[in-house]
Amino acid sequence: MSFIAAIDQGTSSSRFLIFETNKGTLIADHQIPVQQLSPQTGYVEMCPIEIYDTVIQCIEECCNKFIKLGHDINDIKAIGLANQRETTIVWDKISGKPLCNAIVWLDTRTSFLASKFINKTPNKDKDFFKSKTGLPIHPYFSALKLRWLIDNVDDVKKSYDNDTLLMGTVDSWLIWKLTGTHATDVTNASRTLLLDLGKRKWSDELTSFFNIKQSILPDIRSSAESFGTIKSGTLKGKHITGVVGDQQAAMIGHNCLNVGDCKSTYGTGTFLLCNIGHTPVVSNYGLITTVGYQFGANDSMVYALEGSGSIGGNVIRFLRDNLGFISTVRECEELANTVEHTDNVYFVPCFSGLYTPYWDSTARGIICGLTQSTTKAHITRAALKGVAFQTQEMISAIENDFKDVNIKKLRIDGGMTSNKTFVQMQADIAGKEIDCPEMAEISGFGAAITAAIGANIINVEDYKKFTHPSINHFKPLINEDDRICENKKWKSAVDRARDWA
């Protein structure tokens, strides 16, 4: 029997997972929470050392569990990596040490820089480079985070001036620490605002525009090839043969390998990706164009339209940690089910601004429609619906941009999908059927599959025939008129949340 494995490093935890190769059965895993730091308003940071250390702990603990089950480490034939995207880490290549905390994708400290660079474009348009990068100029993406670090952290500037600085997203940092290779894959590179999507290389125009030396950037590789050999630990000598951003990993894990296939992941934020094939489409409706995957250096890239949302599982943590409505995540569904509706309350929990389709970093969270009869149950239910409304806006944008696609079914994953009340809300608000696999480890599974393809263990065409053995199906239960009315009120609430900061 052979096995495939993956590191899954996210915003809230690090994880290592081992799957049986043919059936995709999860054999062993280990997960450790990681801290997010917020030293001041708008700042979201993580410790690069903690990211790496928790990954190593997860690998060792998971491998110990695997061995105790009677398996042999030598039977692990491929190792992949899925990671939170955009989060930016800088380190010195001589010392190998990080020079400061990572700036997380949620961080908004670079809003002023975004405005500065937008004003620098000939037509003062945030979408000026969208035809080249697929992305707007926005604090979400890595280029502005890197520019801020060089400008504001003395050790970073010194290393940059001495030509000893290396930069990377979380994948690059982990690859460097594990193998000594400074590399990234195309999916992660496509989130930096520095990649030329068509040429699969760092853009001279964009690195010049943001005044960033290309020498500090990682080597770009396909998602499925060797990224180096692990230098130490239980997995010493094994190759990392698959690297992919976590949302693209989920796309692969859901087997969204045909044009028009869509998935939505509800983690810290919400991310909806639609496979659009080998030709990039530039969105007119606030979506971004990203690389979905590239299964080998000689294969063509597959692109995706993506709706990115800052609203997701973080709203449940807000209800628990900030408002004290619940003491555990599980209580959220129970509380929401104590009422049948929101009593016309709408909650737009855009704590870090609005992403797709608005790209408004000045937006802030708002609760509309409060009356003396409003209870915490109504607000909790409205918070869940807020996440679902956000996804519906992404679906609508994809259908407007990509006329050949009529999304009939949405495949979903992520922590929030254990809340079946929320999933039914999503089906109702989107007016779509939803498939929710019982396998919760979709991103890790997608990274492991990518690694197996990179190691020539699995054939892409054979994997396309794979189906998850257990899937929960949801169908919309409300009528179209009610759905349209609710979405209209949501848009009115969003309008009130904008231009706030």
Instruction: State whether residue 72 is helix, strand or coil.
Output: coil
The 3-class SS string of 276-327 reads: EECCCCCCCCCCEEEEEECCCCCCCCEEEEEEEECCCHHHHHHHHHHCCCCC
Cα–Cα nearest to 424, from 460, 384, 470, 397: 384
Beta-strand runs (E) in 346-389: 346-348, 366-368
Whether the model clears a pTM of 0.85, i.e. scores above it, the answer is: yes
Rg of the chain over Cα atoms, rounded to whole angstroms, equals 22
What is the spatial distance between Cα 225 and Cα 353, in angstroms, rounded to a whole number? 36
pLDDT above 90 (res 47): yes
Confidence tier at 161 by pLDDT (50, 70, 90): very high
Please tell me the chain's helix, strand, coil percentages from 3-state DSSP, rounded to the nearest 5.
35, 25, 40
Say what the pLDDT of residue 4 is. Answer: 96
Greater model confidence, 223 or 355? 223
Give the mean pLDDT of 247-271: 93
| CA–CA separation, 443 and 226 (whole Å) | 19
- Residue 23: the pLDDT is 87
> What is the average pLDDT across 256-263?
93
pLDDT on residue 151? 96
- Per residue in 283-309, pLDDT (tens digit) is 999 999 999 999 999 999 999 999 988
Cβ–Cβ < 8 Å for 243, 207: no
- Nearest alpha carbon to residue 44 among 90, 130, 107, 94: 107
Number of helices (H), then strands (E), belonging to the chain: the values are: 16, 22
- Residue 181 scores a pLDDT above 80: yes
pLDDT of residue 441: 87
pLDDT, tens digit, 9 for 90 and up, residues 97-113: 999 999 999 899 999 99
Q: How confident is the model at residue 202 (pLDDT cuts 50, 70, 90)?
A: very high
Q: Which of the four pLDDT bands, split at 50, 70 and 90, describes residue 76?
A: very high
pLDDT over 80 at 403, yes or no: no
Tokens of 338: 């104590």
